[in-house]
């Protein structure tokens, strides 16, 4: 048993993840590959520490995280076992290993570029700066970071340095459509360290935010008439991108453990989807996290039915109760996952640096399409971002903002409970930048938003969370972004919100 762990490779030093997180990722890989099976006893913390030459505290911390995330179960006086609730992946691993996938081989889904002419609807709830309009006193947004704490001065400093240095002429000319080579290299190291990925710069395309990555993926993969499974409630703009590419959308319910994988499996038996779009971490809008058991089952289904998974890396950097579960992309042995994310939610929405991670063949196809609609990104901004990744400035910002946002989460939950408890219900999220709340049955979200607007508060009317009109009209939910307002501002906003709700007070 111990011998199987001797192949684990851990890297020491300040540039690498903490050892307990590295060990955590390695054990998850062993589980996903079927080396460790459901119900199997793991070595004791003392045995594993001795075999890997680690401190026992490191192994205990690893087992604690794996237990919190649902990968293992701890039984008093018996030991630590791989969770019985996880599926056995042996058949999947044998199948994928037999294909002998190489770094440059095509993934299990075909590469198809598609042009579409279906009109796309605009998002009625996006913030606009309309000339002549009266600005609200407060805005409770969908879950944005606070630009006031972002490292803007550092970005501007590096922007100026690259704009005046000996590289200026080169950086102000055309560059690769895939994005800055240096940024892709630094980003590969960052994602490998923080997400447990194993990618190189050749498997990364720099985009202007996650939305561009979603759009490019849709254009590369989807043919008219293809079926795409999407969560409901879900992200409207992603659904619009799939519709524009000609997809038929099938809506999958979301509960407290994430997308309903039972439903996905039932539907796959009738018709295999071309792709499934999923936000496994802090799902938008409900904030739930896909459980470990469902993650493994979904990966097994992707292998069996050979569909693509588009994984949206939403709010990954902000988890407040334990370490986040690693992305699906970190356990992707069959090259089924396209991974999309950005720094827009960790730095500021206006910093349009995003990324798409996929097999090199897919990246090349996506880069060719990107070149047609947006020749390349902002090279100076990309080089500045690369420098901040290299120096650790972004990591320091994430650490600082994590503490601030956790405090704001606690403050907002307290205010909601004290001031609005009779009007709505909510669960404290484990992470992310927003709270998902439901108005009580006698309250209409649209009416509340209208009342609040007259009083100087901009809040959602609840219409943007469900894509199917019949469902959207019958659900009164609201996402409460808690990060972009400080404690005083949030208290003022909730005070106005309470006034807007006063007409619904029970007599």
Residues 371 and 264 in one domain: yes
Q: How far is CA 272 from CA 299, 307, 332, 411, in A?
A: 14, 7, 19, 45
Residue 252 has pLDDT above 90, yes or no: yes
Instruction: Identify the CATH number of the domain in which residue 408 sits.
Output: 3.90.1150.10
Condensed to tens digits (0 to 9), the pLDDT of residues 116-143 reads 344 444 444 445 444 445 678 999 999 9
Query: What is the Cα–Cα distance from 31 to 352, expressed in whole angstroms?
Result: 36
Instruction: Give the pLDDT confidence of 377-387 residue by residue, as tens digits.
Output: 778 888 888 99
Q: Are residues 353 and 402 in the same domain?
A: no
Residue 330 DSSP class: G
Residue 351 lies in a domain: yes
- For residues 195-210, give the mean pLDDT: 93
Same domain, 343 and 242: yes
pLDDT tens by residue, 233-250: 999 999 999 999 999 999
314 within a domain of the structure (yes/no): yes
Residue 386 lies in a domain: no
pLDDT tens profile 140-171:
999 999 999 998 888 888 877 877 766 676 76
In this structure, what CATH number is given to the domain that contains residue 58?
A: 1.10.10.10
Let me know whether 367 and 420 are in one domain: no
- CB-based contacts of 129: which residues, under 8 Å, 6+ apart? none
Any domain includes 226? yes
Q: How many domains are contained in the chain? A: 3
- In a shared domain, residues 75 and 201: no
Nearest-5° angle of CA 268, CA 274, CA 277? Answer: 90
DSSP H helical segments within 306-392, as ranges? 360-373, 379-391
Asked if residue 495 and residue 456 are part of one domain, the reply reads yes
Per the domain annotation, does 50 fall within a domain?
yes
**Residue 397 predicted with pLDDT over 60:** yes
Residue 121: inside a domain, yes or no?
A: no
Taking only the tens place, the pLDDT of each residue in 20-55 is 888 888 888 888 878 888 888 988 888 888 888 889
Residue 472: per-residue pLDDT: 56
Using the 8-state DSSP alphabet, how is residue 198 labeled?
-
Supply angle C-alpha 141, 142, 145, rounded to 5.
75
CA-to-CA distance for 96 and 60, rounded, in angstroms? Answer: 32
**The two structure tokens encoding residue 119:** 């009109």
The total of other beta-carbon atoms located within 10 Å of residue 228's CB is 26
- In this model, does residue 65 exceed pLDDT 50? yes
What mean pLDDT value characterizes the chain?
85
List the domain range (segments joined by +) for residue 406.
138-150+396-504
Helices 19-32 and 292-305: crossing angle in degrees, nearest 10, is 50
Confidence of residue 72 (pLDDT cuts 50, 70, 90): confident
- Examine the fold and report which residue of 70, 86, 102 is the final residue of a domain before the chain moves on: 86
Same domain, 24 and 145: no
In the listed set 86, 104, 120, which residue is the last one of a domain according to the structure? Answer: 86
Whole-number Å distance between alpha carbons of 83 and 455: 52
In terms of Cα–Cα distance, which of 462, 495, 468 is closest to 480? Answer: 462
The domain boundary residue, chosen from 42, 70, 86: 86
Q: Judge if 354 and 249 occupy the same domain.
A: yes
Say if 145 falls within a structural domain. yes
The CATH number of the domain holding residue 249 is 3.40.640.10
DSSP 133: P
Q: Are residues 142 and 235 in the same domain?
A: no
Do 44 and 7 lie in one domain? The reply is: yes
346 with 257, same domain: the answer is yes
Strands 275-278 and 308-312: parallel
Residue 337 domain-assigned (yes or no): yes
Q: Are residues 198 and 146 in the same domain?
A: no
* Per-residue pLDDT tens digits for 428-455: 999 999 999 999 988 999 999 999 999 9
Q: What is d(CA 411, CA 430) in angstroms, rounded to the nearest whole number?
A: 15
Binning pLDDT at 50, 70 and 90, where does residue 3 land?
Answer: low
């Amino acid at each position: 048993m111990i011998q199987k762990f001797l192949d684990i490779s851990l890297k020491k030093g300040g540039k690498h993840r903490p050892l307990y997180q590295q060990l955590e990722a390695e054990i998850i890989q062993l589980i996903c590959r079927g080396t460790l099976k459901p119900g199997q006893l793991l070595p004791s913390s003392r045995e594993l520490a001795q075999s890997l030459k680690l401190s026992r505290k490191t192994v205990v911390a690893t087992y604690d995280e794996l237990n919190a995330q649902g990968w293992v179960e701890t039984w008093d006086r018996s030991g630590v076992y791989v969770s019985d609730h996880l599926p056995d992946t042996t058949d999947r691993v044998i199948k994928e290993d037999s294909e002998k996938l190489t770094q440059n081989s095509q993934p299990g889904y075909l590469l198809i570029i598609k042009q579409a002419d279906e009109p796309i609807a605009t998002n009625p709830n996006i913030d606009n700066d309309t000339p002549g309009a009266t600005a609200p006193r407060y805005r409770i947004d969908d879950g944005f970071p606070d630009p006031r704490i972002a490292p803007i001065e550092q970005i501007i400093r590096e922007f100026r340095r690259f704009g005046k240095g000996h590289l200026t002429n080169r950086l102000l000319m055309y560059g690769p459509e895939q994005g800055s080579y240096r940024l892709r290299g630094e980003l590969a190291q960052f994602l490998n360290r923080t997400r447990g990925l194993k990618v190189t710069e050749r498997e990364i395309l720099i985009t202007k935010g996650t939305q561009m990555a979603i759009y490019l993926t849709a254009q590369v993969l989807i043919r008219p008439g293809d079926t795409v499974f999407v969560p409901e409630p879900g992200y409207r703009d992603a659904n619009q991108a799939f519709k524009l590419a000609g997809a038929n959308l099938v809506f999958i319910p979301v509960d407290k453990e994430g997308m309903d994988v039972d439903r996905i499996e039932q539907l796959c038996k009738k018709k295999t989807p071309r792709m499934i779009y999923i936000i496994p971490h802090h799902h938008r809008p409900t904030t739930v996290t896909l459980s470990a058991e469902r993650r493994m089952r979904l990966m097994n289904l992707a292998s069996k039915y050979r569909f693509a998974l588009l994984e949206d890396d939403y709010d990954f950097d902000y988890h407040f109760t334990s370490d986040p579960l690693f992305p699906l992309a970190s356990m992707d042995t069959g090259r089924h996952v396209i991974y999309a994310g950005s720094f827009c939610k960790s730095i500021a929405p206006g910093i349009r640096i995003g990324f798409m991670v996929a097999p090199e063949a897919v990246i090349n196809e996506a880069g060719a399409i990107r070149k047609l609609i947006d020749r390349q990104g902002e090279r100076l901004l990309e080089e500045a971002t690369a420098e901040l990744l290299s120096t650790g400035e972004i990591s320091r910002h994430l650490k600082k903002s994590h503490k601030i946002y956790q405090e704001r989460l606690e403050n907002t939950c307290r205010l909601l409970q004290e001031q609005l408890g009779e009007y709505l219900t909510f669960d404290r999220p484990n992470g992310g930048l927003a709270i998902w709340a439901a108005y009580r049955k006698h309250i209409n979200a649209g009416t509340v938003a209208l009342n609040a607007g007259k009083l100087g508060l901009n809040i959602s009317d609840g219409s943007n969370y469900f894509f199917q009109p019949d469902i959207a009209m019958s659900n009164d939910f609201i996402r409460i972004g808690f990060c972009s307002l400080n404690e005083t501002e949030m208290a003022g906003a909730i005070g106005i919100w309470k006034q807007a709700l006063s007409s619904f007070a029970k007599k």
